[in-house]
Amino acid sequence: MRQKSGQSKAAADKVVKGIRRKTRKHYSAEEKIRVVLAGLRGEESIASLCRQEGISESLYYSWSKEFLEAGKRRLAGDTARQATSPEVKDLRSESAALKEVVAELTLENRLLKKSMIADGEDEE
């Protein structure tokens, strides 16, 4: 009898965990920033802020750490971002066009130099 009771309790715990996982609140970036800024203002304690928001203090501190690290990276100049596909295509076509212009000018320059050298030989 005890095994059945233990098995049903384990199954019930599993169901409860599944329900909690599915009904867990997901916070947007704006909500996280609002909560962290409220904590940084210091108008009320972190514990009471977390109770009002329904989050654990450890979750608040992890959000706070992420927020401050992102700010530090931004201020340090680490602003590299991923280029979008249209940007890459535009930059590649612009690069190809510029390479063509450089090639044409280089060819023109060489032809002018050769003609100058040839004109100088004719005079002698």
Q: Give φ, ψ of 27 to 5 degrees.
A: -95, 135
Convert the pLDDT of each residue in 9-60 to its tens digit. Answer: 889 999 988 887 787 788 999 999 999 999 999 999 999 999 999 999 999 9
Q: Give φ, ψ of 88 to 5 degrees.
A: -65, -45
Q: Domain 27-80, CATH 1.10.3470 — does that match?
A: no
**pLDDT at 105 exceeding the cut of 90:** yes
Parse the chain into domains and list their residue ranges: 27-80, 81-124
pLDDT at 82: 66
pLDDT at 118: 83
Under 8 Å CB-to-CB from 47, ≥6 apart: which residues? 57
Convert the pLDDT of each residue in 79-90 to its tens digit. Answer: 566 667 888 889
Cα 14-19-22 angle, rounded to 5 deg: 125
pLDDT confidence bin for 1, thresholds 50/70/90: very low
Exposure b/e, 92-101, CB count within 10 A at least 16 = b: eeeeeeeeee
